[in-house]
A and B are shown apart, each in its own frame.
Chain A
Amino acid sequence: MPEIKVTPLGAGQDVGRSCILVSIGGKNVMLDCGMHMGYNDDRRFPDFSYITQNGRLTEFLDCVIISHFHLDHCGALPYMSEMIGYDGPIYMTHPTKAICPILLEDYRKITVDKKGETNFFTSQMIKDCMKKVVAVHLHQTVQVDDELEIKAYYAGHVLGAAMVQIRVGSESVVYTGDYNMTPDRHLGAAWIDKCRPDLFISESTYATTIRDSKRCRERDFLKKVHDAIERGGKVLIPVFALGRAQELCILLETFWERMNLKAPIYFSTGLTEKANHYYKLFITWTNQKIRKTFVQRNMFEFKHIKPFDRTYADNPGPMVIMPGYCVQGTVGHKILSGQRKLEMEGRQTLEVKMQVEYMSFSAHADAKGIMQLIRQVEPQNVLLVHGEAKKMGFLKEKIEQEFSINCYMPANGETVAIVTNPNIPVDISLGLLKGDSTLGPVPDPKKPKLMHGTLIIKDNSLRLVSPDQAVKELGLSEHHLRYTCKVQIQDHHSEQDTLNRIYNHLKNFGSAVIPSPVWWCRFLPHLGLLCTGIDSHSVISFCAIA
């Protein structure tokens, strides 16, 4: 039976370094190629030696697909393509292709320039890697080769995030990447056809959470910021991921506009600012409101938000600052984790006098969103990645219970094989199809009907032809087998022996075609069906007598 094999190299029962290998219909596809935030050694990249111990990956992979530009989905790409070696196509959407190199460069800078690591990919490698990228549009079907095709769908999550459908023949796999089912201030909700794939690979970051309305969160957030501003305070909003920064910018900008507020908002220069240029360009990837109003005003052209300069820090009066995200070890991270005293350089201690609030503005689908997408897609099997094992287990149970389909959650390096039941297309001549239907009393397209024909399997092609034509094609003469009488044999030998004896006996008479005893044996129990087998040509002719 044909199988789809899935092996996560990363993101199996884990969050980070997403990298999933899928072999489907003889094709090998790598989905995402990310890094892990938590490690600084070899574990930060997926273990590509699983694919091959030595040499390049090109001959083992048909294509690589990157779902979106977050580093845990694309961070290992230059390493894989340039340092390990891969020359095949890499597919990603246009915004991803535009923003991804900025993030990779930033990542490289931090690792090499700040932490001083060697043996890391260089700027040139990033450029070379990006040359191998093929950009795709939403809902565009891309033929990777004759059999393998991929199609991208909108995933929400972040600008340019996509879900991909991978199809070989009638087998198909959908990989969601990260997605969001509730639209936010600048992105829409994920959407996909009811494409009924054999396997649905879904992220499961929020496997156990059903989030309340985003409206409460927004209201809370704005109210807190507003209150602090009204008291004349300063607000620091460390934003974790690129994309979320833009979301909060939009949220604050519109609120400032509506409420006629004057306090300045600053965001950190660098990453966010660069990415913002692309956000202004890829308007088609945003939500309804931004798409409809960008003619009057592009929502990413902020009026109140300006890039931050360190000298502003001591300016009097209220302000909102959005610094970059707080990686482990930074001051921001310490404050967020609840420290009330900070040790500065030179043994100074600083008391934390600020109020600290944590708010989740995550752009991942919650459990209900995941279920909703599964219902929308109607897959045969589900496979969960990109989540914690314990939470995954909970959701897995739910999925199996609700949809009664199989659900898998392999760990890294563990392979799951899913048996598929693909349709095998057979060519049939129109004459045979139409001619036969006239035999029946009323042609009814809904009911299965009985057909008299011959299946010819020849050089990788299947054809169903009428018996006359089959005989003609194979240059055989037609034989008729007639059932005339029934002979009851009273024999004390075993069935096999009796058959052999009859066979040998008949052989002496030299009859034209004598089926081998094996055939006899097979069809004796149901006497209604007789069959002649000509093994050498693999021609099977069925004829129904009953």
Chain B
Amino acid sequence: QQPHEEIPAKKLRLTKPSKSAALHIDLCKSTNSTEALQYLLQFAKKPVEAESVEGVVRILLDHYYKENESSVRLKIASLIGLLSKTSGFAVDCIIDDVIIALNNEKSHHVLAQLLDTILVIGIQLQDNLPLSFRLVEIGCKHLADTSHMVRNKCLQLIGCLGSLDKPVMKELENLAARDVQKIISDSFTDQDPRVRTAAMKAMLQLHERGMKLQQIIYCQACKALSDDYEQVRSVAVQLVWVLSQLYPDSIVPIPSSNEEIRLVDDAFGKVCHMVNDGSWLVRVQAAKLLGSMRQVSVQFLEQTLDKKLMSDLKRKRSAHERAKELYTSGEFSSGRKWGDDAPKEAVDTYTVNLINSGACGAFVHGLEDEMYEVRNAAVESLCMLAQASASFAEKCLDFLVDMFNDEIEEVRLGSIHALRKISCHIRLREDQLDTVLAVLEDSSRDIREALHELVCYTNVSTKDGIHLALVELLKNLAKYPTDRNSIWKCLKYLGSRHPTLVLPLVPELLSTHPYFDTPEPDMDDPAYIAVLVLVFNAAKTCPTMSALFSDHTFRHYAYLRDSLSHLVPALQLPGRKMVTVSDSTKLALSEDSSRHFVQQSLDRVQNIQHLDAQGAQDLLKLTIRDLQRLGELQPELAGIAEFSATYLECQLLLMKSLQEKLWNVAAPLYLKQNAMAAAAAKKILEHTYKLEFLYSGLESRHVAIIHHMRLQAKALQLILTARTTRGMETLINMCEMFLQEIETFPRYFASELQYLQESFVEKLLEVMPRLLACKPAEVVKILQTTLRHSNFLLLELPAQVHRASATIIEPTGESDNPLRFTSGLVVALDVDATLEHVQEPQTTVKVQIMYPDGQAHIIHPKPADFRNPGPGRHRLITQVYLSHTAWTEPCQIEVRLLLAYSSSWSRASSLSAVCRAAWNDSMDGLPQTDSVIEGTINLSKQVKVYLMPKPARR
């Protein structure tokens, strides 16, 4: 630190000399400009406090006027810009100085940098209208500069600060007489492409800030579409698009004819034309924007799919003719015959050019572009337009289906998803279905599953179509048996969507015969199950179907209804008593009423304060049972019910261990009930971690209550240790740690303390000074009394809570054939699991392998192995590598998924950023490791895999 006196003769008004003074000295010391530049560069690396910013800026400006070298001035200008961003610094005071500096500056580079600084300052003072006007005025003045950098910055300045409306205040009228849009659009024809780009960007900036752009700009933007430079064209496309959204229905003339069309159609044609641009960046831009042009007339929209209807090579067939051809063949035939390409029709020179550039074939071109980015964008746009227009959806079907054959998997996947999104509009013809289903043989699992999902939503028009789909799916099943679940699910939807089409197929599918008894199919055959799933789901809405079933079909129904209840619906079968009880209860129990029930149960629990110990425990037990049962019945509320039940169980355990009679027995008899209480405390801790990390959708209030419960459990542990151990050391340590946690609690949950009235923590916080002062033995005593007399905290019903869960689909654990491999080497085990409501599974979900000898391995799957098929759902498809030394008999290993947690990721800290910041500041000195507890929670049921490592052969 430099003492103040050392500063040479120059007088400074500095309150905090440290930062600025050091800088000043450095700058004075520097003999030449290179040195000064070095000092400035070093200075820029360190942050400056808000209070000393002004001083620093003054010094910098002082030096600025003295400096001859433009590079140093440039650095100073940029530093001022950076400094003015410092939060808590009022920039008003330096703006005038910067403007003065600007007026005296000659170097173009420095000018541009100064304008940039002004822009930074101006954006911070946007509300100050007179200042904004003044700055825009400055921008306009420098717009005549010869350097493109200066003009660039000026345009940026005008774009960001230009006034949106005509001024209301009188005194501003003379200032704001300029028309910002006019000024900017004049630069559209600037000689430098960078300035043209900046001008159009400024225009877009105005639009983003809410100014309505004038329609005149449309023509100018259209001219810019044929610019020589790609960045200009890229921005021009955006501008044209913006204007087409602003004035969709105004009329523009077509050059070279006296016709007029809607502006949005004209713009659509132009953007379509840009899909053929030479630069792929522009093509991506154009292909993306096409999708959002919803108001386009149908005739233009349909042209995008036909290359032949080109404006210049006029070969207009009637729409009818085209539609017919499209329908009858389902494909465009060309290049099939020799001599197909002789010039056929004479050119009708009188045909009117409908559109100058032509929307036609835009998507055909976009979809066969070289860059997959363009193709992807085109698929997305096609999908968006088709979602808005059913007739267009019908027409673009063939093109989307063709994209299933793209060389890049991402594009193939994208087009399958696109088709699924528009499937409500379309009905697949048989030939189309055929091509769609051909993709089922793809070796990529993602593609197949996407396609299964597509088939779920597809409308099929004929019974042959259904048959075809079934046959293809069964082929798929035979080729890739792992797709079983996905295919069954797909057939479930297919059946329930097309009951009438399935009906005539039933005898064939079930291979029944009017006269002959056919052999009973194998019930374990996945293909047969697939057929049954289709039939049963169709039978749900088609009561006549069951008449076609043979006896064994009914038996199989009963079996499947039990074993695969999610795939097989309840049917009204003749001669069978319907087990409708569960259904009716489900119907009766609407979600509202069950929610109400949960609330009531929790309210009831509040009364335990007034009950005796035994009554309270009974009530809790009863409520827990109710809640658990409710969770089973009502899947939507399962999360809430289980959450509440677990919490109440914690409370129950706590109550049990604090029972009066246990604590009053003589010391030698501690042992037994100590063990019981210790177990309870451990269990509570486990439960609290589960509560905190397994459930998503918790509010901070709930987290506070969970933490509170955890503190209670820890207090219990402390008391128990105090009673059993003799040594003081451990007790003192534990005590200190516990007190620290108590201390930090309010920092976490400052805003939640109000809900914790009369609670354990609050009482402890009241006596905190005393606690810190006294000995461990006394602390324990205080804790014991507080713990036993603190109130039960009522759980507020959380709005939406989901329990994270996982199901391992594969390995199934049914296989009797052991997985054989040479011991010492590795074997790969495919694991396929679905995860529900797991947040950030990439970091938290692990795979655990338990070997028969008790060894456990935890494996972290790669982040890429997690796929996200829907909100809240994840899919883990990975391979885990196993290895072990030789066994003599095949044994089972256990595979399960774990959820890893660490208390440092505690939700409390992520809930409020401010809270955390404060916490981190104060935690600087404290050892962080103490408070971090890492652990894992079981996420799924274990699955057993038969494994047989063989000794290596010599």
Interface residues of A (CB under 8 A from B): 182-183, 185, 188-189, 191-192, 194, 206, 208-220, 222-223, 226, 254, 257-260, 287-289, 358-360, 362, 367-368, 371-372, 376, 390-391, 393-394, 397-398, 401-402, 445-446
B361 contact from A359, A368, A391, Cβ within 8 A = A368
- Asked whether any CB of chain A lies closer than 8 Å to the CB of B41, the reply is no
Q: Can you list 5 pairs linking A and B with CB atoms under 8 Å apart?
A: A210-B308, A213-B399, A360-B334, A394-B343, A397-B347
Given A259-B443, A398-B313: 18 more A-B contacts, CB < 8 Å: A185-B407, A188-B370, A208-B341, A209-B341, A212-B334, A213-B399, A213-B402, A216-B332, A216-B398, A259-B441, A287-B370, A288-B371, A289-B407, A358-B337, A359-B336, A367-B313, A393-B343, A398-B312
- Asked whether any CB of chain A lies closer than 8 Å to the CB of B278, the reply is yes
- Asked whether any CB of chain A lies closer than 8 Å to the CB of B18, the reply is no
Closest beta carbon of chain B to A393's beta carbon, Å:
8
Which residue in chain B gives the minimum CB-CB distance to A217?
B335
Assembled-state Cα–Cα distance A390/B398 (Å): 34
Which residue in chain B gives the minimum CB-CB distance to A260?
B443
Closest beta carbon of chain B to A71's beta carbon, Å:
22
Given known A219-B435, A223-B438, A391-B341, contact A402–B403 (CB-CB < 8 A):
no
Closest beta carbon of chain A to B519's beta carbon, Å:
28
Closest beta carbon of chain A to B679's beta carbon, Å:
55
B332 touches A288 (CB 8 A): no
- Asked whether any CB of chain A lies closer than 8 Å to the CB of B684, the reply is no
Assembled-state Cα–Cα distance A35/B370 (Å): 32
Which residue in chain A gives the minimum CB-CB distance to B358?
A368
Which residue in chain A gives the minimum CB-CB distance to B305?
A213
Number of chain B residues close to chain A: CB under 8 A: 47
Residues of A within 8 A of B349 (CB): 401
Which residue in chain B gives the minimum CB-CB distance to A256?
B443
Residues of A within 8 A of B308 (CB): 210
- Asked whether any CB of chain A lies closer than 8 Å to the CB of B563, the reply is no
Q: Using an 8 Å CB-CB cutoff, how does the interface string of B363-378 with A read, 1 for contact, 0 for none?
A: 0110111111000000
A390 touches B441 (CB 8 A): no
- Asked whether any CB of chain A lies closer than 8 Å to the CB of B562, the reply is no
A189 touches B370 (CB 8 A): yes
B364 touches A213 (CB 8 A): yes
- Asked whether any CB of chain A lies closer than 8 Å to the CB of B494, the reply is no
Closest beta carbon of chain A to B41's beta carbon, Å:
37
Which one of A206, A257, A394 has the greatest number of beta carbons of chain B within 10 Å?
A394
Closest beta carbon of chain A to B410's beta carbon, Å:
11
Q: Using an 8 Å CB-CB cutoff, how does the interface string of B472-516 with A read, 1 for contact, 0 for none?
A: 000000010000000000000000000000000000000000000
Closest beta carbon of chain A to B186's beta carbon, Å:
11
Closest beta carbon of chain A to B688's beta carbon, Å:
48
B313 contact from A189, A210, A218, A376, Cβ within 8 A = A210
Residues of B within 8 A of A368 (CB): 307, 310, 313, 361
A257 touches B372 (CB 8 A): no
A218 touches B405 (CB 8 A): yes
Residues of A within 8 A of B337 (CB): 358
Residues of A within 8 A of B350 (CB): none
Q: Tell me the residues in window 365-424 of chain B with beta carbons closer than 8 Å to chain A beta carbons.
A: 365, 367-372, 398-399, 402-403, 405, 407-408
Residues of B within 8 A of A218 (CB): 402, 405
7 closest A-B pairs by CB: A360-B335, A215-B402, A183-B370, A212-B332, A209-B341, A402-B312, A394-B343
Residues of A within 8 A of B313 (CB): 210, 367-368, 371, 398
A391 contact from B335, B343, B365, Cβ within 8 A = B343
A194 touches B435 (CB 8 A): no
Assembled-state Cα–Cα distance A182/B364 (Å): 10
Residues of A within 8 A of B312 (CB): 371, 398, 401-402
Q: Using an 8 Å CB-CB cutoff, how does the interface string of B266-278 with A read, 1 for contact, 0 for none?
A: 0000000000101
Inter-chain contact total with CB atoms closer than 8 Å: 118
Assembled-state Cα–Cα distance A213/B372 (Å): 16
- Asked whether any CB of chain A lies closer than 8 Å to the CB of B592, the reply is no
Q: Tell me the residues in window 858-908 of chain B with beta carbons closer than 8 Å to chain A beta carbons.
A: none
Interface residues of B (CB under 8 A from A): 191, 228, 276, 278, 307-308, 310, 312-313, 315, 331-332, 334-338, 340-344, 347, 349, 361, 364-365, 367-372, 398-399, 402-403, 405, 407-408, 435, 438, 441-444, 479
Residues of A within 8 A of B276 (CB): 372
A208 touches B334 (CB 8 A): no
A289 touches B307 (CB 8 A): no
B341 contact from A206, A287, A359, A393, Cβ within 8 A = A206
A289 touches B408 (CB 8 A): yes
Given known A210-B310, A213-B402, A258-B444, contact A194–B367 (CB-CB < 8 A):
no
B335 touches A211 (CB 8 A): yes
Closest beta carbon of chain A to B258's beta carbon, Å:
18
B438 contact from A226, A372, A398, A445, Cβ within 8 A = A226
B372 touches A216 (CB 8 A): no
Assembled-state Cα–Cα distance A217/B343 (Å): 22
Residues of A within 8 A of B336 (CB): 358-360
Residues of B within 8 A of A260 (CB): 441, 443, 479
Given known A260-B479, A398-B313, contact A219–B370 (CB-CB < 8 A):
no
Residues of A within 8 A of B278 (CB): 191-192, 194, 376
B332 touches A213 (CB 8 A): yes
Assembled-state Cα–Cα distance A258/B406 (Å): 11
Closest beta carbon of chain A to B793's beta carbon, Å:
58
Closest beta carbon of chain A to B311's beta carbon, Å:
8
Residues of B within 8 A of A219 (CB): 402, 405, 435
Given known A368-B310, A371-B312, A390-B343, contact A215–B368 (CB-CB < 8 A):
yes
Residues of B within 8 A of A287 (CB): 370
Residues of A within 8 A of B334 (CB): 209, 211-212, 360
Residues of B within 8 A of A217 (CB): 335
B402 touches A289 (CB 8 A): no
Assembled-state Cα–Cα distance A368/B357 (Å): 12
Given known A213-B399, A368-B307, A398-B313, contact A222–B405 (CB-CB < 8 A):
yes
Residues of A within 8 A of B398 (CB): 216
Assembled-state Cα–Cα distance A344/B623 (Å): 94
Residues of B within 8 A of A397 (CB): 347
Assembled-state Cα–Cα distance A214/B368 (Å): 7
A359 touches B347 (CB 8 A): no
Assembled-state Cα–Cα distance A401/B370 (Å): 30
A288 touches B405 (CB 8 A): no
Assembled-state Cα–Cα distance A288/B283 (Å): 15
B310 touches A259 (CB 8 A): no
B342 touches A208 (CB 8 A): yes
Closest beta carbon of chain A to B127's beta carbon, Å:
37
Assembled-state Cα–Cα distance A398/B314 (Å): 9
Which residue in chain A gives the minimum CB-CB distance to B335?
A360
Residues of A within 8 A of B479 (CB): 260
Closest beta carbon of chain B to A1's beta carbon, Å:
27
Residues of A within 8 A of B335 (CB): 209, 211, 217, 359-360, 362
Residues of A within 8 A of B438 (CB): 223, 226
Assembled-state Cα–Cα distance A211/B405 (Å): 18
Residues of A within 8 A of B307 (CB): 210-213, 368
Given known A213-B367, A222-B405, A288-B370, contact A258–B443 (CB-CB < 8 A):
yes
A358 contact from B338, B341, B371, B403, Cβ within 8 A = B338
Residues of A within 8 A of B402 (CB): 213, 215-216, 218-219
Residues of B within 8 A of A210 (CB): 307-308, 310, 313, 315
Which one of A192, A360, A368, A397 has the greatest number of beta carbons of chain B within 10 Å?
A368
Assembled-state Cα–Cα distance A242/B343 (Å): 28
Closest beta carbon of chain A to B490's beta carbon, Å:
19
Assembled-state Cα–Cα distance A80/B335 (Å): 36
Closest beta carbon of chain A to B447's beta carbon, Å:
8
Residues of A within 8 A of B344 (CB): 208
Residues of B within 8 A of A215 (CB): 367-368, 399, 402-403, 405
Assembled-state Cα–Cα distance A215/B308 (Å): 16
Closest beta carbon of chain B to A175's beta carbon, Å:
19
B435 touches A223 (CB 8 A): yes
